[in-house]
């Protein structure tokens, strides 16, 4: 395995690519008892349209999430039982862009890693088991539909990007999952669950050669590329809907707003744009800004308010949200503060303080085994090296941040999603 060192972070990882295309990385943490393994698949909920063997395929919404549930089935048993018997804690998740399976343990690491690899590389779909899972997933979907924090965000995506598959909740709908069959799952598994479309990341006091040997033994031979997914027409930067409302059983209104931004044009530019956009959002409305203080003191926001940057394949936005009785006034004030910043400039030294704080937060995040593995994998799928983030912060200057705000924080780029209490429903 090749050792990649990052002196600025006092960290390193060993890497190898197997003949079947699987990328394996091991981040050594000598002296730690905990060991963590993360197997990511470059396949998420938005990958619903793709071409396979010359045939254009459109799958029902929610297949990636449904597949995540069914991957724990093994011939004659269940992977969760094997993990538990070996003292491991296992779990999985599906996001818009990735499906991941992981575990942590203190003992029996090799046994648990074998289980993880066998589980993801041994599809076991039957009509009976797929049908049995349908009710469980439907219940999970209903729980998300009853969650204001989920609904307000999904509603914003739908308002801003109605033609993009991100406009659909990750798990799909109760109606869409009715069309998912064992054949559907097998088709998507064959298309995307190829080793060349995966990454195995291990963090802990483990020998890289041991991890590599197990990966070679328990993943299938043959190098096959995953299909390119189709995310629809080029995303417009003017949201079709400026304001969307829904009423739910909540105590006070909650909101999420977004300003549409051009997504990174080149593969590998994700980290640089994320750093720039995050700093722009923090400079405009983060906790240490005059705007945040004023909004808080006036009672327009509370401690739930936060801001940041979101990017998926084909779309990007600066976002902000939280609880507020007057979300539309919050949006107005954000736009006014952007104009003031462009006229007067930020407080002296403000950007440098934000850069140091953000850089420190990311460095502290390297202590999190699961955080390191998930970020390393996610950025790898985007063609970026996560450990390059110190240089990304180094390259950002005030002129770039202000130019980013000027280009993207505009009224015509904005959309506002609001969830209001039912008693306000007219």
pLDDT of residue 236: 77
Position 53 confidence tier, pLDDT thresholds 50, 70, 90:
confident
Q: What is the average pLDDT score of the chain?
A: 95
d(CA 98, CA 112): 22
**What is the average per-residue pLDDT within 100-108?**
97
pLDDT in tens, 242-283: 999 999 999 999 999 999 999 887 777 899 999 999 999 999
At residue 268's C-alpha, the angle toward residues 42 and 158, to 5°, is 60
- Inter-CA distances, 224 with 190, 197, 370, Å: 10, 8, 28
Q: Phi then psi for 15, rounded to 5 degrees?
A: -140, 145
- Inter-CA distances, 370 with 40, 107, 300, 367, 395, Å: 12, 17, 36, 9, 28
The percent of residues above 90 in pLDDT, for the chain, comes to 92
Question: Any idea of the CA torsion for 210, 211, 213, 219, to the nearest 10 degrees?
Answer: 160
**Measured in whole angstroms, how far is the alpha carbon of residue 378 from the centre of its chain?**
8
> Please, are residues 307 and 291 in contact by the beta-carbon 8 Å criterion?
no
> Please, are residues 246 and 155 in contact by the beta-carbon 8 Å criterion?
yes
Position 233 confidence tier, pLDDT thresholds 50, 70, 90:
confident
d(CA 61, CA 53): 21
DSSP secondary structure string for all residues of 334-400: HHHHHHHHHHH-PPTTHHHHHHHHHHHHHHHHTT-HHHHHHHHHHHHHTT--GGGHHHHHHH--HHH
pLDDT in tens, 367-404: 999 999 999 999 999 999 999 999 999 999 999 999 99
pLDDT of residue 99: 98
What SS3 state is found at 35? strand
**What is the average per-residue pLDDT within 162-174?**
94
Higher confidence at residue 148 or residue 424?
148
d(CA 183, CA 190): 10
d(CA 305, CA 151): 17
What SS3 state is found at 52? strand
> Please, are residues 408 and 259 in contact by the beta-carbon 8 Å criterion?
yes
d(CA 236, CA 254): 26
* Residue 396: closest CA among 308, 276, 284: 276
d(CA 286, CA 279): 9
Which residue segments constitute the domains of the chain, with CATH numbers given? 2-218 (3.30.830.10), 243-424 (3.30.830.10)
**Measured in whole angstroms, how far is the alpha carbon of residue 147 from the centre of its chain?**
19
Model pTM score:
0.94
Helices (H), 257-309: 270-285, 290-297
């Amino acid at each position: 395995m090749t050792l990649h060192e990052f002196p600025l972070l006092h960290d390193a990882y060993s890497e190898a690519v197997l003949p079947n295309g699987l990328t394996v990385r091991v981040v050594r943490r000598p002296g730690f008892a905990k060991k963590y393994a993360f197997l990511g698949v470059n396949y998420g909920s938005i990958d619903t349209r793709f071409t396979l063997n010359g045939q254009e395929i459109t799958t029902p919404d929610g297949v990636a999430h449904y597949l995540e549930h069914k991957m724990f089935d093994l011939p004659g048993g269940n992977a969760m039982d094997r993990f538990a018997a070996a003292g491991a804690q296992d779990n999985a998740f599906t996001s818009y862009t990735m499906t991941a399976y992981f575990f942590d343990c203190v003992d029996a690491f090799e046994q648990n890693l074998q289980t993880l690899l066998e589980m993801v590389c041994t599809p076991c779909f039957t009509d009976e088991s797929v049908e049995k899972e349908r009710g469980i997933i439907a219940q999970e979907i209903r729980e998300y539909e009853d969650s204001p924090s989920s609904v307000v965000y999904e509603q914003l995506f739908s308002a801003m990007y109605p033609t993009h598959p991100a406009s659909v909740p990750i798990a799909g709908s109760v109606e869409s999952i009715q069309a998912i069959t064992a054949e559907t799952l097998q088709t998507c598994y064959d298309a995307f669950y190829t080793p060349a479309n995966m990454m195995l990341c291990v963090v802990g006091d483990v020998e890289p050669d041991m991890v590599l040997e197990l990966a070679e033994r328990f993943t299938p031979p043959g190098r096959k590329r995953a299909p390119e997914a189709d995310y629809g027409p080029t995303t417009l930067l003017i949201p079709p809907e400026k304001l969307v409302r829904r009423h739910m059983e909540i105590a006070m209104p909650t909101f999420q707003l977004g300003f549409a931004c051009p997504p990174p044009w080149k593969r590998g530019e994700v980290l640089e744009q994320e750093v720039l956009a995050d700093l722009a959002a923090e400079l405009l409305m983060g906790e240490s800004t005059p705007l945040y203080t004023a909004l808080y003191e006036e009672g327009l926001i509370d401690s739930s308010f936060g801001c940041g940057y979101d990017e998926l394949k084909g779309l990007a936005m600066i976002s902000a949200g939280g609880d507020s009785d007057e979300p539309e006034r919050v949006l107005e004030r954000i736009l006014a503060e952007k104009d003031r910043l462009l006229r007067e400039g930020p407080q002296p030294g403000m950007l440098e303080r934000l850069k140091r704080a953000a850089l420190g937060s990311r460095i502290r995040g390297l202590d999190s085994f699961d955080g390191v593995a998930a970020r390393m994998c996610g950025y790898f799928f985007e063609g970026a090296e996560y450990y390059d983030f110190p240089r990304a912060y180094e390259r950002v200057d005030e002129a770039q941040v202000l130019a980013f705000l000027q280009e993207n924080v505009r009224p015509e780029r904005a959309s506002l999603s609001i969830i209001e209490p039912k008693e306000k429903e007219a």
